[in-house]
C-alpha cells in the first residue's frame, strides 16, 4: 500500500484555484504578492497523484465587473438577486492573456481544468457551486466519481475563491485543507478574517506546505 510521511494518497486531490495572470501583479485584479504562490504550489504538486486546476473565466459583459455598471467603481457592492455582489475590476476575460494560467505553474499531472464564472448574470468564487447557491459546476460529482475524499486547496485568493471552494468542499462531504503559504488574500473590508472564521467553523484545516513536504 502506498504511503508517505505526508499522508497524501490516491483519495486526495490538490485543487489549484485561479493561479492566473489576472490575479498576479500586473493583472486585472492583482492580489498582493500573488505570484509568490507559484513556487510553493510547484513544490507540493508532485506529492499529489490527483490535481485539478481552476480558471476564473468571465465574459467581457460579466455582472461582477464594475465597468459594466455605469457610475460604479471597483470594490463597491451592489445587490443582485442572489445577494450582495462585490464589483471587481475587469479580470480574467475569456480568451485573453489575463485569463491564462501563470506561465511558471508546473502541475503537469493535473487531470481537469475547470472553468467557472462564465454565466453572465452570476459570479462563481467557488469551484463547486456558483454564487446563486444552486448552480453546480459538476466538480463535486467529478471528484466523488474518482474516489476523492480529501481536497487540498491552494492558489488565489485565500478569502474569495479559495475560501468559498473550501467551504463548498466541506458542504459536499469532502475533508478540506488549505495550504496557507500557497495562497494569498485580497483582504477587502475584513474579508480575510471572516473567511478564516467561516472555514474554521466548517472544519476546514489549515496547514503550511512544510507540513506536507516536511
Ligand atoms: C476571485 C474575485 C473575483 C478569486 C475571482 O479568484 O478569488 N476573486 N473573481
Ligand atoms: Zn472573477
For ligand 1, say whether the CB of 128 is within 6 Å of any of its atoms: no
Question: Ligand 2: distance of its center to the CA of 89 in Å?
Answer: 9
Cα–Cα distance for residue pair 91/79, rounded to 1 Å: 20
Q: Residue 171's domain spans which residues? A: 12-56+93-213
For the chain, what is the domain count? 1
Question: Ligand 2: distance of its center to the CA of 117 in Å?
Answer: 6
Q: Name the strand (E) or helix (H) holding 213.
A: helix 209-213
Gyration radius of the chain over CA positions: 16
Domain contains 192: yes
Residue among 18, 114, 119, 178 whose CB has most ligand 1 atoms within 8 A, to mutate: 18
Q: What is the pLDDT of residue 101?
A: 98
For the chain, give the mean pLDDT: 96
Can you read off the three cell numbers belonging to residue 147?
Answer: 474516489
* Residues annotated catalytic, as ranges: 18, 116, 161
Decide if pLDDT at 213 tops 80.
Answer: no
> pLDDT, tens digit, for every residue of 121-157?
999 999 999 999 999 999 999 999 999 999 999 999 9
- C-alpha separations of 211 from 5, 27, 130, 143, 208 in Å: 9, 31, 31, 24, 5
> pLDDT, tens digit, for every residue of 104-126?
999 999 999 999 999 999 999 99
Decide if pLDDT at 4 tops 70.
Answer: no
Domain contains 23: yes
Decide if pLDDT at 170 tops 80.
Answer: yes
Cα–Cα distance for residue pair 89/68, rounded to 1 Å: 10
Amino acid at each position: 500500500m502506498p504511503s508517505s510521511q505526508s499522508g497524501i494518497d490516491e483519495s486526495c486531490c490538490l485543487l489549484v484555484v485561479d493561479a492566473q495572470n489576472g490575479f498576479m501583479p500586473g493583472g486585472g485584479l492583482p492580489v498582493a504578492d500573488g505570484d509568490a504562490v507559484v513556487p510553493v504550489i510547484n513544490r507540493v504538486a508532485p506529492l499529489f497523484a490527483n490535481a485539478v486546476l481552476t480558471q476564473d473565466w468571465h465574459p467581457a459583459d460579466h455582472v461582477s465587473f464594475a465597468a459594466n455598471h455605469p457610475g460604479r467603481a471597483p470594490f463597491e457592492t451592489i445587490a443582485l438577486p442572489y445577494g450582495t455582489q462585490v464589483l471587481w475590476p475587469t479580470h480574467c476575460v475569456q480568451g485573453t492573456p489575463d485569463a491564462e494560467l501563470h506561465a511558471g505553474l508546473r502541475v503537469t499531472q493535473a487531470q481537469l481544468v475547470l472553468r467557472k464564472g462564465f454565466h453572465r448574470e452570476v459570479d462563481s468564487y467557488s469551484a463547486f457551486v456558483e454564487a446563486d447557491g444552486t448552480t453546480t459546476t459538476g466538480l463535486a460529482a467529478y471528484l466523488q466519481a474518482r474516489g476523492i475524499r480529501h481536497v487540498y486547496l491552494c492558489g488565489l485568493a485565500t478569502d474569495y475563491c479559495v475560501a468559498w471552494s473550501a467551504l463548498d468542499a466541506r458542504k459536499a462531504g469532502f475533508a478540506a485543507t488549505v495550504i496557507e503559504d500557497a495562497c494569498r488574500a485580497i483582504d477587502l473590508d475584513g474579508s480575510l478574517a471572516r473567511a478564516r472564521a467561516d472555514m474554521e467553523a466548517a472544519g476546514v484545516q489549515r496547514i503550511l506546505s512544510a507540513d506536507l513536504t516536511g
